[in-house]
Chains A and B, each alone.
Chain A
Amino acid sequence: MALTRRNFVQTVGIGAGAALSSSIWGRGRENSVWSAFEPSLQAVDRGVICIASNENPVGPGKKVLDTVRSILEGGTKPGRYSNQTGELAEAIAAHFKVKTENVLLSEGSTEILRAATQVFTAKTKPLVGTIPTYEECAGYAELIGNPVRGVKLNSEFKIDLDAYLAASKGAGLVFYCNPNNPTATYVGAKATRDYLQKVNSSSPETTILVDEAYFDYVTDPDHETHVPLAIENPRVIVARTFSKAYGMAGLRQGYAIAHKDTIQKMRAFVGSSGTGSLNVFGMAAATAAIQQDASFTTNERNRNKAVRDFTVKWFNDRGMKPTDCQANFMFVNIGTPAKAFREACRAKNVWVARDFPPFEKTMARISLGTMEEMQKAVQVFGEVLAKKSTAAA
């Protein structure tokens, strides 16, 4: 099924488990971050370049991790539960200049995607998503037995807004992942605004979930967050995550921003309205992360853009065309099945490129690591893809 990810998760888990049984402990690559820590604090050097899951290769930074560390130091004696959910919600609200009633915390953005699908789709009100896109909403709709309406991307691998508008009519929920995963393309701010307005008027009962997971990586000048619209418009929800630019995929923190009535509808299906699903490390880290000044995301965006430009150029120079990449990953036509590419890279300790039907025969998704990692990775790509052309010849 093109829109779901379940099989993938299963496969990766098992494969990775086997690979790691032989892992070794050593110095981590981000040691510079850790200079203030005891020498015993070591990362795992798995000897692999992991560019498969759109993670920020640098992590959340020392300031954020120091905050987490202070909890652990307090935790060696009986501490007290603190209302960290309140503090995090307030920090997010302050960051966006909205009220806490507009914020719903969640376990990654997964809980938001599930809750929105749960609340807004029904047997007669399908979920609408692009093919391909991030799979959680479609997978969950299937799980609860609600229909999924898939819409093809346009020739630039972007959301085809006319087709999307038509498909959105009568939908319960539209999943609008922008930038889109896995294609990395971004629909500009104005075009998105127009689309949202048209859905509101042509299908007033339809809710649109704008997933801005990769928003901080967008460099297209025509970009803006749809948070201001979401707090005014009960039919628009913005989902955000700390897993991408904030470098906290392991800490599982995300949130929705929406009109208070919309938040209220989703709340019963999100465990975070207490300490039900949010871990204390993640809450503390996220609170510290979002309170940093804008230079954190600006620096991360610039760091990523330099790596992206380098990697995009490498492929372009070899006649392999990436999409207009606005995220921390790229989607590139390698002219050969992703599976063969993935397996060959994996044999050389580069983890990359799961299948994204219907494009798995030619297109590969490549997450962007550090510049150093990508310099090494492209050498592996060169070897792997050269072998392919030799074999083909």
Chain B
Amino acid sequence: MSVSRRGFLQGLGVDRSHAADFMAARGHEEFVALMQQGRQGGRGMGRPNLPPGVEAIRISSNENPLGPGKAAIDAILGKFPEANRYPFNSTPLDADLEILIAKLNSAKRENVVLGVGSQEILKNSARVFMSSSKHLVIPSPTYGDPAGFAQNTLKYTVKTAPVTEKTLKTDLSALLPLVNGAGLVYICNPNNPTGTVNSAAEIKDFIAAVKKQSPTTAILIDEAYCDYATDPGFSTAIPIALSTPGVVVARTFSKAYGMAGVRIGYAIADTATMQKMAKWRMPYNVNTFGVAAAVASLKDPAHIKEESARNKAVRDFTIKALADMGYESTDSQTNFIFTNIGKTMTAAAFRDGCAQKGVMVGRDFPPLEKTWARISLGTMEEMQKATEVFRSVLKSSATTTSGKGR
């Protein structure tokens, strides 16, 4: 193996020759990961310095490895002459995107609020629905942005309930005792990092139970990965959100649509709830290129179907490869998998071992970081190579461990 140990930890200087070699598919997840590794902002955020000719396989941030579809890229190129126009003067308008999203969901424009990625939606939900006396309820683990913003920036309280043992599904019944008086309940469905879904029926019952128990508590359902779900029991909560005050669904173009770097997301809910969210929306928040790309993407649903099918084949392959090595994964409905490697090593050891061989996998997800690793799904070719690296890392660690006594 020609890849040396230098690289990941010491080779983080940015290589200017790669300035153009980045793409729309890389997004906020990347930053969260790098922050966790203690390298804030600036020049520290780069990729490992691998020997010439060796490409790092980056499967750490749940990105679509292929980026946006052709329709989206063509749309962006077509908008170059409108770089100078605010999104309310461009063609299409940001309003046109809202109208299209509404139409595709049998809703009205006033049921939709655009965000800079879904990040703005998640943050604004905390601002709209929470206060110092109205806490956040989340499963643990889940996507960390809402809790991080609520706790660290706004200094609000966060209450958590662990996911179900073994399946690692979000345990909705464990959340219920925490919701009384809460400002907001955040559920990610499918859940990041566990990859699991809660069925449409479970979600429906949960919403009803929350509303009965604590009528003023809002519920935010983050469906970032919904386009990758293939379990027939899963379906979107948008119809419930449209008919139930205080239930918001967040969506993003960062995942299956391959546009994490484009920064477009949206919230959808009943009119009164969206009016509250709209007040917090930054004016002209979405960029004109992104609006055009999002509109073009929504008009090309076949591309998303293909992307979901492509991803499922890669997912099935990767889960099976790890199962063959003796490592079980959760029932992933996303573009990443969550695998129990605990009998051999921790997520950190796995991550470091893989990084040394040019494969970058997911960060720690406490409280499961001692046993579970999150692996995003690249292309089939990337995962064929990556699973070989997994095999060697998991094997070499066993050797290292047994040799420890010497």
A251 with B83: CB separation less than 8 A = yes
B84 with A249: CB separation less than 8 A = yes
A60 with B83: CB separation less than 8 A = yes
Report A-chain residues with C-beta under 8 Å of the C-beta of B20. 67, 70-71, 73-74
Asked whether A275 and B93 contact (CB < 8 A) given A17-B99, A82-B21, A83-B43, the answer is no
- Give A21-61 interface residues, CB cut-off 8 Å to B: 23, 28, 30, 33-34, 37, 40-44, 46, 50, 52-53, 55-60
Asked whether A277 and B152 contact (CB < 8 A) given A75-B23, A243-B86, the answer is no
A80 with B28: CB separation less than 8 A = no
Name the segment of B285-293, B299-307, B344-352 touching the other chain. B285-293
A169 to chain B minimum Cβ distance, whole angstroms, is: 29
Asked whether A43 and B82 contact (CB < 8 A) given A274-B41, A280-B261, the answer is yes
B283: nearest residue on chain A (CB-CB)? A9
Report A-chain residues with C-beta under 8 Å of the C-beta of B76. 72, 281
A30 with B81: CB separation less than 8 A = yes
CA–CA, A280 and B68, complex, Å: 13
Report B-chain residues with C-beta under 8 Å of the C-beta of A221. none
How many residue pairs link A and B with beta carbons under 8 A? The number is: 260
B85: nearest residue on chain A (CB-CB)? A250
The digit string for B1-38, where 1 denotes a CB below 8 A from any CB of A, is: 00000000000001000111111111110111011000
A279 CB contact (under 8 Å) in B90, B91, B290, B382: B290
Asked whether A16 and B284 contact (CB < 8 A) given A72-B73, A81-B58, the answer is no
A249 with B24: CB separation less than 8 A = no
Report A-chain residues with C-beta under 8 Å of the C-beta of B85. 50, 53, 55, 249-250
- Does A248 belong to the interface (CB within 8 Å)? yes
Give the bracket for the number of chain B residues in contact with chain A: 35 or more
B26: nearest residue on chain A (CB-CB)? A81
- Does A150 belong to the interface (CB within 8 Å)? no
B26 with A46: CB separation less than 8 A = no
- Does A212 belong to the interface (CB within 8 Å)? no
- Does B42 belong to the interface (CB within 8 Å)? yes
CA–CA, A247 and B288, complex, Å: 13
CA–CA, A55 and B81, complex, Å: 13
Report A-chain residues with C-beta under 8 Å of the C-beta of B379. 78
Asked whether A69 and B80 contact (CB < 8 A) given A14-B95, A87-B19, the answer is yes
- Does A125 belong to the interface (CB within 8 Å)? no
CA–CA, A277 and B28, complex, Å: 9
A46 CB contact (under 8 Å) in B34, B78, B91: B91
A250 with B262: CB separation less than 8 A = no
- Does B46 belong to the interface (CB within 8 Å)? yes
Report B-chain residues with C-beta under 8 Å of the C-beta of A58. 84
B81 with A280: CB separation less than 8 A = no
- Does B226 belong to the interface (CB within 8 Å)? no
B144 to chain A minimum Cβ distance, whole angstroms, is: 13
- Does B146 belong to the interface (CB within 8 Å)? no
Report A-chain residues with C-beta under 8 Å of the C-beta of B44. 83, 86
A152 to chain B minimum Cβ distance, whole angstroms, is: 25
Asked whether A247 and B83 contact (CB < 8 A) given A20-B96, A80-B56, the answer is yes
- Does B363 belong to the interface (CB within 8 Å)? no
- Does A137 belong to the interface (CB within 8 Å)? no
A20 with B23: CB separation less than 8 A = no
A13 CB contact (under 8 Å) in B47, B56, B88: B88
A89: nearest residue on chain B (CB-CB)? B42
- Does B280 belong to the interface (CB within 8 Å)? yes
- Give B93-146 interface residues, CB cut-off 8 Å to A: 93-96, 99, 116-117, 119-120, 123
- Does B362 belong to the interface (CB within 8 Å)? no
Report A-chain residues with C-beta under 8 Å of the C-beta of B282. 107-108, 110-111, 114
A277 with B116: CB separation less than 8 A = yes
A280 CB contact (under 8 Å) in B24, B34, B77, B116: B24
* Highest count of chain B CB atoms <10 Å: which of A59, A247, A252: A252
A231 to chain B minimum Cβ distance, whole angstroms, is: 17
Give the bracket for the number of chain A residues in contact with chain B: 35 or more
Asked whether A12 and B23 contact (CB < 8 A) given A41-B77, A83-B42, A250-B288, the answer is no
- Does B368 belong to the interface (CB within 8 Å)? no
A250 with B19: CB separation less than 8 A = no
- Does B391 belong to the interface (CB within 8 Å)? no
CA–CA, A143 and B277, complex, Å: 11
- Does B92 belong to the interface (CB within 8 Å)? yes
B30: nearest residue on chain A (CB-CB)? A81
A274 CB contact (under 8 Å) in B22, B35, B46: B35
Report A-chain residues with C-beta under 8 Å of the C-beta of B260. 275
- Does A191 belong to the interface (CB within 8 Å)? no
- Does B246 belong to the interface (CB within 8 Å)? no
B154: nearest residue on chain A (CB-CB)? A268
B349 to chain A minimum Cβ distance, whole angstroms, is: 24
Report A-chain residues with C-beta under 8 Å of the C-beta of B80. 34, 37, 41, 43, 65, 68-69
Report B-chain residues with C-beta under 8 Å of the C-beta of A9. 88, 283-284
CA–CA, A11 and B77, complex, Å: 29
- Does B66 belong to the interface (CB within 8 Å)? yes
Report B-chain residues with C-beta under 8 Å of the C-beta of A77. 67
- Does B45 belong to the interface (CB within 8 Å)? yes
Asked whether A250 and B289 contact (CB < 8 A) given A70-B20, A82-B22, A274-B32, the answer is yes
B40: nearest residue on chain A (CB-CB)? A273
A83 with B93: CB separation less than 8 A = no
- Does A271 belong to the interface (CB within 8 Å)? yes
- Does A223 belong to the interface (CB within 8 Å)? no
Report B-chain residues with C-beta under 8 Å of the C-beta of A277. 116-117, 119-120, 263
A78 with B66: CB separation less than 8 A = yes
A59: nearest residue on chain B (CB-CB)? B84
- Does A85 belong to the interface (CB within 8 Å)? yes
Query: What are 15 contact pairs spanning A and B, CB under 8 A?
Result: A20-B92, A41-B81, A72-B73, A75-B22, A75-B24, A75-B73, A79-B26, A80-B56, A81-B61, A250-B83, A250-B86, A250-B90, A274-B28, A277-B120, A281-B289
Known A-B contacts: A79-B23, A250-B289. Give 19 more (CB < 8 A): A42-B78, A56-B84, A78-B65, A79-B26, A83-B42, A83-B43, A83-B46, A86-B14, A107-B282, A136-B283, A249-B84, A250-B79, A252-B287, A271-B120, A273-B40, A274-B35, A277-B116, A280-B262, A282-B287
